[in-house]
A = this chain, B = another copy of it.
Amino acid sequence: MAVHGPAMTDVARLAGVSHQTVSRVLNGHPNVREQTRLRVRAAIAELGYRPNGAARALVTGRSQVIGVVAQNTTLYGPASLLAALEQTAAEEGFAVSVGSVRDLDYRSISAAVERHLSHRVAGIVVIAPVESAGEALERLPKDVPLVTVDGDPRRPVPLVTVDQVAGARAATQHLLDAGHRTVWHVSGPSDWFDSVGRIEGWREALLAAGVDPPPLMQGDWSAASGYRCGQLLARMPEVTAIFTANDHLALGVLRALHEFGRRVPDEISVVGFDDVPEAAYFIPPLSTVRPDFDAVARASIQLLLAQIESGTGGALRQTIAPTLVARDSVAAPPRR
C-alpha cells in the first residue's frame, strides 16, 4: 500500500522534456509547442500520472480546496446548500472540505476554521445562521477569503443570504390576499437570522395592511414544535391563517389541526417555507416559499473566488429572492 505514484519528473523523462515543461502543460501555460504538449499528455496518460495537490499547495501557499463550516447538515436547508456549494465549487475546479460543528459558538467555529486554515484552504464559507456565530467571525484572521451564508446582516462581512423578509412578506401577503383578516406565525428559534427575518417580513406585511400582528408562536424548526403550537392554534376559533417559518413546522401544525378536526384550507389556511420535496404531498399539498439554494451557492462561490483572485476583502452583500409556490393549503376564510 501507499505506493507513491509517478511524479512529474517521471512524466518528464518519458516525454523527453524537463519537469518544468510538464508543469507548463498541466497549468495551461501558452508557450509550449503543440507537439510537445501532445507528447507530455501522452506520457501523463501512459503513466497514470496524477499531480500532487499537496506539493502544489505547499509551494503556492493555497490549495484548490474551499472549506465550509456548517452546523446541523441534516436539516433540509443546510443539506441543500451544502450540496449546491459542492456542485458549484467542483465546476470551478475546487474541492469542498466540510467542517461541521456541534454548536455555532466562538470556540467551535474558530476550531473548525483553524482546521481549515491548517490545510491552507483557498477560502472559507461559513453557514452561520445564528447570532453567536457572528462574534466568532469578526475575530477571525482577516487575511483569508471568507463568505458567510445566512449570516448577520449587520456585520461587515461578505454575506450571501436568502431574502427572508421578502419571502415571509410574500407568504403573509398571499394569505391576506385570499381574504384573511390577519395571519398567525409559527417562527423558528429566535437566535436564527432566518427566523428573525421571516418574523420581520410577516410583521411588515401585516402592518402594511393595517393589521396588528397577533402574538408570535415560537418553534424550533421541528415538526414536533409545530405540532405543539398547532395544538394551541387549533383551539382558537379566530385563527384562519397560519404562516410557519418552515415546512416541517407546517407539517406539525397540519397534523394538530387535523386532530382537532379543523379542516385545511376550508377553515384554516397554512403557508410554509423551504419547499421541501415532500411539501406537495402533505395533506393538503402545502403552499410554501422556495429559496433558490443554487443561486445562493453560486453567489457565494463567486464572491469567494473574487476575493481569492483579487486579494480584496470587500464586504459585498448579495440577497437572493425566493419565490412563492401556491398549492392547496390556502383558501378564503370561512364565512361567519
Report the contact-size class of chain A (Cβ under 8 Å from the partner).
35 or more
Q: Does A82 sit at the interface, judged by CB under 8 A?
A: yes
Partner of A2, one of B54, B76, B116, B311: B311
Q: Does A222 sit at the interface, judged by CB under 8 A?
A: yes
Per-residue CB proximity of A271-306 to B under 8 Å, as 1/0? Answer: 000000110111100000000000000000000000
Looking at A4, A54, A248, A312, the one whose CB has the most chain B CB atoms below 10 A away is: A54
Q: How many copies does the complex hold?
A: 2
The answer to whether A83 touches B87 (Cβ under 8 A) is no
Q: Does A9 sit at the interface, judged by CB under 8 A?
A: no
The answer to whether B58 touches A54 (Cβ under 8 A) is yes
The answer to whether A95 touches B79 (Cβ under 8 A) is no
The answer to whether B83 touches A74 (Cβ under 8 A) is yes
Q: Does A80 sit at the interface, judged by CB under 8 A?
A: yes
> How far, in Å, is A242 (CB) from chain B's closest CB?
15
- Interface 9-mer from A33-41, A60-68, A157-165, A200-208: A60-68
Q: Does A53 sit at the interface, judged by CB under 8 A?
A: yes
Query: In the complex, A207 Cα to B255 Cα: how many Å?
Result: 36
The answer to whether A227 touches B281 (Cβ under 8 A) is yes
Q: Does A143 sit at the interface, judged by CB under 8 A?
A: yes
Per-residue CB proximity of A49-61 to B under 8 Å, as 1/0? Answer: 0111111011001
Looking at A86, A90, A114, A278, the one whose CB has the most chain B CB atoms below 10 A away is: A278
Q: Using known A-B contacts A54-B58, A254-B283, A281-B226, determine if residue A143 contacts B1 with beta carbons closer than 8 Å.
A: yes
Partner of A223, one of B80, B96, B118, B281: B281
The answer to whether B224 touches A281 (Cβ under 8 A) is yes
Q: Does A97 sit at the interface, judged by CB under 8 A?
A: yes
Query: In the complex, A151 Cα to B247 Cα: how many Å?
Result: 32
Q: Does A134 sit at the interface, judged by CB under 8 A?
A: no
The answer to whether B95 touches A95 (Cβ under 8 A) is no
> How far, in Å, is A184 (CB) from chain B's closest CB?
19
Q: Using known A-B contacts A87-B100, A143-B2, determine if residue A95 contacts B115 with beta carbons closer than 8 Å.
A: yes
| Interface residues of A, Cβ cutoff 8 Å to B | 1-4, 50-55, 57-58, 61-63, 65, 72-74, 76, 79-80, 82-83, 86-87, 90, 95-100, 114-120, 143-145, 222-224, 226-227, 248, 251-252, 254-255, 258, 277-278, 280-283, 307, 311-313
